[in-house]
Structure 1
């Protein structure tokens, strides 16, 4: 949304971990728009092929390193050599897991630390590392909707590690905790090791918006995209309850990562990267209003129902320090739904 400074990255290369991801695709867009070269880690050749398809016009400025497992010690050594900075977006986003510690906590925590270790050991010229954290690292799930409270960068999820690691702890609680422990570990690493680089973390709530990742089929959507598409394809019959009330457009989140990378003010800072609040009722209302041909498939619920009493989100820091402006919910959902309709037509699913 905010104006982009072009050509600030000419001749520089930034490593983006997990480049085939939904958020990473927008980070790539923001970097390419400024003239940066991008090296990105992927788990396999299929993921690399996907990025080449979605960012085909930048192939001369795009390179890949395969890192099959984020947690492997030294796994990022090759990837970090020769780059001017790192944006670490790779982290597991799954809620239904067999083992919270093995499948969520350790991959998020160890994956982040291994990246930082590789940078410290093999590239002292890196001065800034930006890490994708989450509002999940801020929210206190035990407080519920917490009406009257305003979350900001001062807040940390209070879930203890031993609670998150328990077999019977719900996956959503463990996922939120995984973001907390990964982010805290990153700040602790810098404090304890005094590397040449500083870090900045971004804490987005729910991330929606049209995807820059090539989508071959509507059966292969990202978790958050599938959630929205289910509201307009007839598969969801009633308006779901809203869990987290904050959102950010993925395009704005990509831009925020690069601003944090370039800004001197962002050194050692964390940012709540949020637009405003939403409910699934509001999303259904918007789809029904903007796409009348889909009305019959979209749950009606209680149109224009007021938002329930719940916490607020203070995004003043990221606006002030990074100059961010954010797309509103109508723009975000309209663009997202339009993309789904386009894919329906392309794939013969309309």
Structure 2
């Protein structure tokens, strides 16, 4: 029997939280509880080239994989995605790439320089990889999927009654460099630049954006310490470690979450689905608050109760809140969203072995 020719996926930001789950699902032939609606065999198989900022990170990703998957992963070092031509050599070194998933973009709370730390990497990293593909893989790449955010959709504090993909977030440059809205601005500018590239350059490949809200879920397999945990999971980590036993921390500003595994599956189900072409997909699993997370942990892990804030801590979930419509992701991508309790349980399970 002839060997199956595996399609090549170029995955940027390979050591990141969401990218690590995308990688796991690309390598495994199943998709957990979320099955690919247009691939009835559910046996898609890929070779994945990930980009990392150092050889140490690349080696760490591969060494953490099960032996049967190691041969299907390679890595390229891209030290600074904001540099002009940052992805040129990596694309040239890997001919016949079929798909690109671009997840590399900063997200943290240690803002020193808004432009250098957030806006340039987000915008120049996104447009840079599109230009690199156009120059060095213009016919082989069929689709580029960009990990965006609901930050490009929401408009606080002037929320509509219902959010969906038809809504676009806006920000001024003054707000962008203020620090408090820098991340949101970086995602707005990057997504806008990506779609503008498609209109202006008319490449042979098409574009899809995946727009999740705050992402929780199990830590990456290559994570060696909770100190290196992704920012969005810090609130759960701090509860588990007893860092907030005296007082629960404020949740805000948004109260929306989605499980990282559902985000990963959405990327994969968007790879080859014709209906996804040119679309943006908002991903929201449900509402949450820090109090609700603490209550889930208290119920599921009685041994951790002494580490948690008082049971009668106030819940800051608002009395009135906007609604969200994710019917498009369910219909086109077949997304089945995990609830908060399931997400918290699997997240804490993953953390207890790394605390």
TM-score (norm 1): 0.90
1:315-345 deviation per Cα after TM superposition (whole angstroms, max 9, x unaligned): 111001111101111011011111222223x
In structure 2, the CA distance between the partners of 1:268 and 1:286, relative to structure 1 (3 Å rule), is same
Q: Choose from 224, 240, 257 the match for 2:249.
A: 240
Q: Choose from 25, 49, 52 the match for 1:30.
A: 25
1:258-310 deviation per Cα after TM superposition (whole angstroms, max 9, x unaligned): 11112111110000011111111110100000000001111135479594221
The total of aligned residue pairs comes to 329
User: Is the 2:51–2:78 Cα contact (8 Å) retained in structure 1?
Assistant: yes
Tell me the SS of whatever aligns to 1:287.
helix
The answer to whether 1:132 aligns with 2:147 is: yes
CA distance in 2 between counterparts of 1:136 and 1:301 reads 32
Q: Choose from 164, 168, 186 the match for 2:176.
A: 164
The answer to whether 1:142 aligns with 2:153 is: no
Matched with 1:212 is 220
Q: Choose from 40, 49, 52 the match for 1:39.
A: 49
Q: Choose from 133, 152, 167 the match for 1:155.
A: 167
Matched with 2:104 is 90
Matched with 1:21 is 16
Q: Choose from 192, 196, 207 the match for 1:199.
A: 207
CA distance in 2 between counterparts of 1:59 and 1:43 reads 19
The answer to whether 1:52 aligns with 2:66 is: no
Deviation (angstroms), 1:104: 1.0
User: Is the 1:238–1:301 Cα contact (8 Å) retained in structure 2?
Assistant: no
In structure 2, the CA distance between the partners of 1:150 and 1:10, relative to structure 1 (3 Å rule), is farther
User: Is the 2:219–2:229 Cα contact (8 Å) retained in structure 1?
Assistant: no
Structure 1 unaligned regions, length at least 5: 1-8, 345-350
Q: Choose from 56, 68, 73 the match for 1:62.
A: 73
Tell me the SS of whatever aligns to 1:13.
strand
Q: Choose from 185, 189, 198 the match for 2:197.
A: 189
In structure 2, the CA distance between the partners of 1:184 and 1:301, relative to structure 1 (3 Å rule), is farther
Shifted more, 156-165 versus 108-117: the winner is 156-165
Q: Choose from 284, 309, 312 the match for 2:323.
A: 312
Deviation (angstroms), 1:217: 1.9
The answer to whether 1:270 aligns with 2:280 is: yes
Structure 2 unaligned regions, length at least 5: 29-43
User: Is the 2:100–2:141 Cα contact (8 Å) retained in structure 1?
Assistant: yes
The answer to whether 1:323 aligns with 2:349 is: no
Task: Please provide the CA RMSD for this pair.
Answer: 1.8
Tell me the SS of whatever aligns to 2:353.
helix
The answer to whether 1:288 aligns with 2:298 is: yes
In structure 2, the CA distance between the partners of 1:262 and 1:140, relative to structure 1 (3 Å rule), is same
Tell me the SS of whatever aligns to 1:219.
helix
User: Is the 2:123–2:190 Cα contact (8 Å) retained in structure 1?
Assistant: yes
In structure 2, the CA distance between the partners of 1:150 and 1:39, relative to structure 1 (3 Å rule), is same
User: Is the 2:255–2:288 Cα contact (8 Å) retained in structure 1?
Assistant: yes
Matched with 2:188 is 180
Deviation (angstroms), 1:94: 2.1
Deviation (angstroms), 1:14: 0.4
